[in-house]
């Protein structure tokens, strides 16, 4: 048996003897510097590197990569990447999401599929469910991010921060053009582009007025055939 295979087998065996559940070893790679608490589960295809720590009751994988990440108790991280960030207890992440360096995700947050978070602090019980980019943001607790929200943090020359207060609600496809602040309890309507601060408990509507032209589609189809 090659030396690296023997070392891997010894490490995984030692973790299992300590109470870590690794039901299938396929693709599981854990560096010696990683700390995994008894009661954690590591699923196939997961790679744990650097100074990563995994807390009791957390489930990592399948196909998850953790690099210098601190994962507290009872988290579920599936088919995602977490790098140089801290994830507090009871957080769920994935599938197919990425937490980039400099993030702190507070307890009981839900980070769903196809979400990217970078250099941001996310408050307790905030939900970022799907198809969202959050960069350079200080976000409060219990915030709801609708599908397709994007923080425009870079203007081509410099990056700016965005602030979101507790209990804010960001409608689907909201664009936050940093630097900007959304106050606590404020709502943004679906499709809004936010370029100025939104006061607490306000509702922001920032989109073009809908125009309906009856029968115009019939003429369009007729012209298309000609």
pLDDT digits (tens, 9 = 90+) for 114-127: 999 999 999 999 99
Beta bridge partners of 187: 169, 203
Long-range contact set of residues 83-86: C-beta below 8 Å, sequence gap at least 24: none
C-alpha 116/C-alpha 124 separation (Å) is 18
Quote the pLDDT of residue 3.
60
Distance CA 69, CA 101 (A): 9
Map tokens 């609708």 to a residue.
146
What residues contact residue 135 under an 8 Å CB cut-off, 6+ apart?
116, 117, 118, 119, 120, 151, 153, 154, 159
Q: Is the pLDDT of residue 1 over 90?
A: no
Contact between 123 and 108 under an 8 Å Cβ cutoff? The reply is no
Quote the pTM value.
Answer: 0.92
Task: Indicate the pairing of strand 59-60 with strand 92-93.
Answer: unpaired
Give the mean model confidence (pLDDT) for residues 144-167.
97
Q: Which two tokens stand for residue 127?
A: 């939900």
The H-or-E segment that residue 99 falls in is strand 98-99
Provide the phi-psi class of 131: left if phi over 0, else alpha when psi is between -120 and 50, else beta: left
Tell me the helix, strand and coil percentages in the chain, rounded to 5.
10, 35, 55
What residues have CB less than 8 Å from 68, skipping those under 6 apart?
49, 50, 51, 52, 83, 84
- Within 10 A of 26 (CB to CB), how many other CB atoms are there? 10
pLDDT of residue 61: 97
**Token digits of residue 84:** 């140089």
Tokens 């219990």 — which residue?
142
pLDDT in tens, 157-187: 999 999 999 999 999 999 999 999 999 999 9
Task: Enumerate the active-site residues.
Answer: 130
Mean pLDDT value of segment 149-156: 95
CA distances from 40 to 109, 113, 144 (A): 19, 22, 29
Task: Tell me the CA distances in angstroms from 3 to 9, 192, 212, one per residue in order.
Answer: 10, 57, 71
Q: Rounded distance, CA 181 to CA 179, Å?
A: 7
């Amino acid at each position: 048996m090659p030396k690296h295979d023997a070392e891997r087998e010894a490490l995984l065996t030692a973790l299992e003897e300590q109470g870590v559940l690794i039901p299938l070893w396929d693709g599981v790679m854990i560096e010696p510097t990683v700390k995994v608490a008894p009661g954690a589960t590591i699923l196939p295809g997961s790679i744990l590197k650097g100074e990563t720590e995994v807390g009791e009751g957390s489930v990592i994988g399948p196909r998850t990569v953790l690099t210098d990440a601190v994962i507290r108790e009872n988290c579920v991280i599936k088919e995602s990447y977490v790098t140089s960030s801290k994830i507090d207890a009871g957080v769920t992440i994935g599938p197919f999401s990425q937490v980039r360096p400099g993030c702190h995700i507070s307890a009981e947050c839900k980070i769903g599929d196809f979400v990217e978070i970078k250099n941001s602090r996310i408050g307790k019980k905030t939900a970022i469910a799907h198809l969202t980019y959050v960069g350079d943001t200080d976000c409060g607790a219990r915030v709801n991010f609708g599908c397709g929200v994007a923080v425009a943090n870079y203007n081509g020359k410099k990056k700016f921060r965005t602030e979101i207060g507790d209990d804010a609600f960001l409608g689907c496809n909201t664009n936050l053009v940093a630097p900007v602040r959304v106050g606590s309890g404020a709502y943004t309507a679906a499709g809004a582009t936010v370029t100025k601060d939104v006061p607490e408990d306000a509702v922001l509507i920032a989109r073009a007025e809908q125009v309906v032209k009856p029968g115009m589609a019939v003429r369009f189809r007729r012209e298309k055939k000609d």
